């Protein structure tokens, strides 16, 4: 959640039209919706497919950092998987990484292996001091949290002590919970 730099809605999400209706962002968002309508879910979910997106002009707040995150509509997000509304964490997800690079969004490193040259520079940093990683791909391996507030230094990755601790914090604050979703 500390690596989240944008928020994504599926083109079919029920909020999309309400968020952009009558705004300067409506035409660009409608173009992404049209692109999504003309592709199958299999095509849209392919990692190697070019990502299409449009900014809605709206924002959400990250509950742990207070950061104002732009809401985008992206054709690789689907309502049939989860809620159709997801965090964009480009440092740890390749599709989000590709999207962020295409649209000039930050890719802050938050999970780093001890062998990464950035590790020594960031290992004790709780606040974001490096907004954009100099990487050419997402880092999806195990490592340690950096730039992650009170969770900095914890073992991080998809199923880790840091994940469990962050989920517990979100549950404590009443703004999140753990849920397992499968995609076949």
Say which residues have a Cβ less than 8 Å from residue 18's Cβ, sequence separation at least 6. Answer: none
pLDDT digits (tens, 9 = 90+) for 123-149: 999 999 998 989 899 987 889 999 999
Distance CA 67, CA 56 (A): 17
pLDDT digits (tens, 9 = 90+) for 72-101: 999 999 987 778 999 999 999 999 999 999
Say which residues have a Cβ less than 8 Å from residue 45's Cβ, sequence separation at least 6. Answer: 76, 78, 81
Tokens of 29: 């968002």
**Predicted local confidence at residue 179, as pLDDT:** 77
Q: Is the pTM of this model over 0.85?
A: yes
């Amino acid at each position: 959640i500390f690596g989240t730099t944008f928020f994504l809605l599926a083109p079919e999400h029920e909020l999309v039209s309400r968020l952009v209706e009558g705004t300067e962002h409506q035409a660009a968002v409608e173009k992404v919706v049209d692109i999504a309508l003309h592709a199958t879910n299999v095509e849209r979910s392919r990692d190697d497919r070019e990502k299409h997106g449009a900014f809605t002009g709206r924002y959400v707040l990250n509950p742990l950092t207070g950061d104002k995150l732009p809401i985008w509509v992206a054709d690789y997000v689907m309502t049939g998987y989860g809620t159709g509304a997801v965090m964009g964490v480009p440092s740890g997800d390749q599709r989000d990484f590709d999207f962020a690079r295409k649209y000039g969004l930050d890719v802050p490193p938050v999970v780093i292996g001890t062998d990464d040259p950035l590790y020594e520079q960031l290992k004790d940093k709780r606040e974001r001091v490096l907004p954009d990683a100099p990487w050419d791909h997402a880092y999806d391996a195990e490592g340690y949290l950096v730039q992650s507030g009170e969770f900095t230094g914890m073992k991080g990755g998809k199923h880790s002590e840091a994940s469990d601790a962050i989920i517990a914090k979100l549950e404590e604050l009443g703004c999140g919970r753990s849920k397992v979703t499968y995609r076949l």
